């Protein structure tokens, strides 16, 4: 099936031939949260020069951008709809991606094609690419296909030397492909107006949180793996002056409800019309496991503590893998039982050592101006052509 699908991608590429670019930039969107960058793209290039090629899971976010008259041109890339994918690439001078797209292994790049990988995470705790344990159990043909995707990128944008090292190891790419200009998705965490708007939105919609200490539990999404908490989760203790918000991936909304129903008092869920990024702006404590959300949270002035609740560490390492350097740096901050988690919640409220370490290692190039730097490079590339 994969061979047939990728053959169709190649044929679609040939069918479009040397079609002239109609847009300066195409942005391939599979994750929400980078709308600030998209707005800046449109501001700098004009709405007629920017094309959004989006996956169905972010359709609502794209509709909001369209309704707000931010973007004019968008193509939905549904599963196996190869013409949409190829069309997006052929119609733009520069193409930006926020994820791994297997279709790129079947795209024979020309000199006119220029691909930039922006990724969807500011740092890495989970292993991926060649550091994913499952990669070495795949066929040589699969491994070669993976590498063709990695090699297709002309630039890979990062927010730290630490993340540059991760990409070099995980994707086997040369250092000169790494674009050390900061991570555009973090710019909003330096923007006081955006932060204040997020806080006012929550205060208006959820005034009961105003006088509470907000603890946010946001574990990573486990693709193709069912999510379940440890048996002793019912023993979680939320302080009287606090509320613990459970926020899972949108695909796990039903599980989110089940967790809250099986939890003691002061454990709640919040409707997803308030984004996870907005919730970060009012939380003083983040509980996560292997999610890159920790790197984003550490940039906010309200961040007081990050707790890594890694009750399934051994199993996760075996099936998904985590970055060895991250484990070495933060092993002492990982808690494995609900009893340990309760202690961390109670006594770790003012401990900013983890926050400092996260920023020191993973946010060194992020300063709120990464989007401007990247857009400047894209402009130069378009002008050179």
> How many C-beta atoms surround the C-beta of residue 357 within 10 A?
15
Residue 17 in this model has a pLDDT that exceeds 80: no
Domain coordinates in residue numbering, the chain: 2-187+368-384, 192-362
Residue 229 in this model has a pLDDT that exceeds 60: yes
Q: How far apart are CA 283 and CA 206, in angstroms?
A: 13
Q: Which residue has the higher pLDDT, 352 or 378?
A: 378
Residue-level pLDDT at 111? 86
Residue 360 in this model has a pLDDT that exceeds 80: yes
Residue 40 buriedness (CB in 10 A; 0-12 / 13-18 / 19+): middle
Q: How far apart are CA 249 and CA 260, in angstroms?
A: 15
Residue 282 in this model has a pLDDT that exceeds 60: yes
Percent of the chain with pLDDT over 90: 76
Residue-level pLDDT at 77? 95
Q: How far apart are CA 169 and CA 160, in angstroms?
A: 15
Percent of the chain with pLDDT over 70: 97
Q: Could you say which DSSP state residue 200 is in?
A: H
Residue-level pLDDT at 385? 59
Q: Which CATH superfamily hosts domain 192-362?
A: CDP-glycerol glycerophosphotransferase, C-terminal domain (3.40.50.12580)
Residue 300 in this model has a pLDDT that exceeds 60: yes
Residue 316 in this model has a pLDDT that exceeds 60: yes
The secondary element (H helix, E strand) that includes residue 242 is: strand 242-246
Residue-level pLDDT at 227? 76
CA angle 35, 97, 94 (to 5 degrees): 100
Q: Does the fold of domain 192-362 match that of domain 2-187+368-384?
A: yes
Residue 257 in this model has a pLDDT that exceeds 90: no
Residue-level pLDDT at 81? 87
| Confidence band of 68 (pLDDT split at 50, 70, 90) | very high
Rounded to an integer, the average pLDDT of 12-38 is 88
Residue-level pLDDT at 224? 60
Residue-level pLDDT at 302? 95
This prediction has a pTM of: 0.94
Domain 2-187+368-384, architecture per CATH = 3-Layer(aba) Sandwich (3.40)
Residue where the block lists tokens 């679609």? 12
pLDDT digits (tens, 9 = 90+) for 135-151: 999 999 999 999 999 99
- State both tokens at 155: 């630039």
> How many C-beta atoms surround the C-beta of residue 253 within 10 A?
13
Rounded mean pLDDT of the chain?
Answer: 92
Q: How far apart are CA 189 and CA 363, in angstroms?
A: 12
| Confidence band of 9 (pLDDT split at 50, 70, 90) | confident
User: Where is mean pLDDT largest: 34-38, 84-88, 155-159, 344-348?
Assistant: 155-159
Closest by CA position to 186, among listed 34, 42, 358, 321: 34
For the stretch 311-349, what's the b/e string if a residue is b when 16 or more beta carbons lie within 10 angstroms of its beta carbon? bbbeebbeebbbbeebeeebeebbbeebeebbebbeebb
């Amino acid at each position: 099936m994969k061979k047939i699908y990728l053959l169709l991608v190649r044929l679609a590429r040939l069918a479009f031939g040397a079609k002239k670019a109609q847009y300066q930039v195409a942005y391939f969107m599979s994750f929400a949260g980078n709308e600030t960058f998209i707005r800046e793209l449109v501001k700098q290039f004009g709405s007629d020069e920017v094309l959004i090629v989006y996956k169905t899971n972010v359709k609502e976010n794209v509709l909001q951008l369209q309704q707000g008259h931010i973007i004019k041109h968008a193509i939905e890339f549904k599963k196996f709809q190869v013409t949409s994918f190829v069309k997006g690439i052929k119609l733009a001078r520069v193409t930006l991606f926020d994820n791994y797209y297997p279709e790129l292994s079947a795209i024979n790049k020309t000199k006119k094609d220029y691909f930039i990988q922006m990724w969807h995470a500011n740092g890495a705790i989970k292993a991926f690419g060649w550091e994913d344990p499952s990669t070495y159990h795949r066929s040589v043909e699969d491994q070669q296909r993976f590498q063709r995707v990695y090699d297709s990128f002309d630039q890979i944008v990062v927010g730290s030397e630490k993340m540059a090292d991760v990409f070099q190891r995980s994707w086997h790419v040369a250092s000169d492909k790494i674009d050390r200009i900061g991570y555009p998705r973090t710019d909003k965490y330096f923007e006081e107006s955006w932060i204040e708007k997020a806080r006012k939105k929550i205060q208006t919609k959820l005034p009961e949180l105003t006088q509470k200490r907000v603890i946010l539990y946001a574990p990573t999404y486990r693709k193709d793996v069912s999510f379940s908490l440890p048996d002793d989760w019912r023993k979680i203790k939320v302080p009287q002056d606090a509320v613990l918000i459970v926020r899972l991936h949108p695909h796990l909304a039903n599980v989110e409800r089940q967790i809250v129903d099986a939890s003691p008092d002061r454990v709640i869920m919040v409707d997803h019309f308030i984004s996870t990024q907005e919730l970060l702006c009012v939380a003083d404590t983040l509980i996560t496991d292997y999610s890159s959300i920790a790197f984003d949270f550490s940039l906010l002035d309200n961040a007081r503590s990050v707790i890594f609740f890694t009750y399934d560490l051994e199993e996760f390492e075996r099936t998904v893998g985590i970055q060895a350097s991250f484990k070495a740096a933060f092993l002492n901050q990982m808690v494995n039982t609900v009893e340990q988690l309760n202690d961390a919640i109670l006594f770790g409220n003012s401990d900013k050592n983890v926050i400092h370490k996260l920023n020191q290692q993973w946010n060194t190039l992020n300063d709120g101006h990464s989007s401007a730097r990247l857009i400047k490079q894209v402009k130069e590339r378009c002008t050179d052509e």
